[in-house]
Every structure is written in structure tokens, then in C-alpha cells.
Amino acid sequence: MDLKIIGLAALVNAALTIALSFIFFPLLFLGPIIGGFLSSYPGKGYEDYDVMKRMEWLLGLFQV
């Protein structure tokens, strides 16, 4: 009787592990990609900002 319960628990554990792996494993790859797009999206408004271009040029002079 105990072996049947242990076997059933092992099958349930395996099923849950497989199901959760299919759900969360793609997030390892999609999370950083989506996060990068979301973090760079607010910066799009500064692309044509002349002061930012001048500051980038000035900071570029001091790079070694």
C-alpha cells in the first residue's frame, strides 16, 4: 500500500515538474529580451535631443 502512494506521489511530482518547466523555462530567455526592450523604450525620446548629443561627444573626449 505504501509503495502505491509513493509511486503516485512520484508521478504527480514528475507531472508538476514537467508542466512548470514548460511554463517558466522560456522566461529565462524571453525575460531579459523583453526587459531590454522595455528599459530602452523610454529613451527613444532623447534620440534627437541636441544637448544629449553634445554631452555624449564631450564625455567621449575623456575616454581612455
Around Cβ 16, how many Cβ atoms within 10 Å?
A: 10
User: At CA 20, angle to CA 18 and CA 26, rounded to 5?
Assistant: 100
Does this model's pTM top 0.85? My answer is no
Give pLDDT tens digits for 5-64. 999 999 999 999 999 998 888 878 888 888 777 777 665 655 566 766 777 777 777 765
Q: Which candidate, 42, 43, 37, places its Cα nearest to that of 56?
A: 43
Look at the block and give the residue holding cell 514537467. 18
